[in-house]
Amino acid sequence: MKIPAAAAGTHNKDIVSIQALRGIAALLVVLSHCFPLDKYPETNILRYISLRGGIGVHIFFIISGYIIPYSMYKNKYQIKNIGVFFAKRTVRIEPPYIVSIILILLFAWLSAWSPWSQSSMTYKPDWWNIMGHLCYLNAFTKQPWLSPVYWTLALEFMFYIILALFYPLLTSARKAVLLTTFFIFLSLSFTRDLLPYYLLERHTVFFSLGIALFLFHIKKINLIEYAVLTISCFIVCFNLYAPLFSFVALASLLFIHFVSWIPKILWALGTISYSLYLTHAIVASRFEALFARLIPGLPTSVKFTLGLLGCIAFAAVFYYIIERPFQKISKNIGYKKASAPAQQP
């Protein structure tokens, strides 16, 4: 059953398509981290997707590149609002992230004491490593993350910092300033060996694609300029990544441009996508251990289906109990009304 944009609570078709794209990206990441399908033949579509599902992370980067500056634009962001911007993003993102860390530690401790555990070792957490997750310091110390998705949150936060500082230049009324800022940002894609660890690096190209889409949608650039910016991004992407990444990035942009309705299931998945992103590895590993211990002969297809449904169910509960309340608080943190239009550099 399909629903129009209005039925989903918004009249903006771009937000509807992005909501669906979030759900798709989250599913791809879940498939890449969980439920190994190595017993399936190489031609099986699920095995193919699971081996390449990590590309869902880069779809999230494109979405952030579009939706974060778009939100700033709607709120008439100015550099003096930087504190409000980070307050909104911190309240929205950090509490679910911290709770997911607590859940990882709790489940690890319970597993160590469980009679089903195959290890007699007691759980001894590395507290320095755990503290390094706060403020995403592990991105710079190169300490391991407790979850395979946490490194992407560090990149997202670095993107917020860069965007908050340079948004006025990126949306300047002077086209030369705007385009120069865009291409300087895109050039960060080549800084892998020059700047601190995880400072966006080659992932910048995906954020740049989202930014180009944002600038086109708010009519800061025309169609020809949009084509030049996106083609530049695809040239960079093709040089840094396998062709599949360029294809998926193009498909994502076309999806945002042309999809104006989505199935209800995709709207629901998009709604809980952040919770699913944070918790899927925790839940899936427990399902795998449970199946191996209690039902070792369970067919792979059944394990896959039950595990995936379990991850989605857990994420839905996590969303309503943890993420949604902080989401509402974040929305209530408002920007001050500007008395006059912001001066563009």
Question: Stretch 277-294: mean pLDDT, rounded?
Answer: 78
pLDDT in tens, 16-47: 899 999 999 999 998 887 766 665 666 667 77
At 195 the pLDDT is 60
Q: What is the pLDDT of residue 342?
A: 43
CA distance to 41, 261, 266, 341, per residue, from 301 (Å): 13, 30, 22, 57
Q: 35-72 as b/e, with b when 16 or more CB fall inside 10 Å?
A: bebeebeeeeeebebbebbbbbbbbbbbbbbbbbbbeb
**Regarding predicted confidence, which is higher, 142 or 288?**
142
pLDDT at residue number 2: 39
In the block, tokens 């860069």 appear at 162
Cβ contacts of 236 within 8 Å, gap of 6 or more:
186, 189, 190, 205, 208
pTM: 0.88
Interval 334-345: pLDDT, tens: 876 544 444 444
The mean pLDDT value of the chain amounts to: 84
Q: How confident is the model at residue 3 (pLDDT cuts 50, 70, 90)?
A: very low
Distance CA 132, CA 163 (A): 24
Each residue's pLDDT tens digit, 207-227: 999 999 999 999 999 999 999
311 class by beta-carbon count within 10 Å (0-12 exposed, 13-18 middle, 19+ buried): buried
**Region 313-329 average pLDDT:** 96
Alpha helices in 188-299 (DSSP H): 204-217, 223-240, 243-258, 264-271, 273-294
Q: Is 80 exceeded by the pLDDT of residue 10?
A: no
Query: pLDDT by residue (tens digit) across 104-134?
Result: 998 888 776 665 555 444 567 788 989 999 8
**pLDDT tens for residues 86-111?**
999 999 999 999 999 999 998 888 77
pLDDT category of residue 329 using cuts at 50, 70 and 90 = very high
The pLDDT of residue 11 is above 50: no
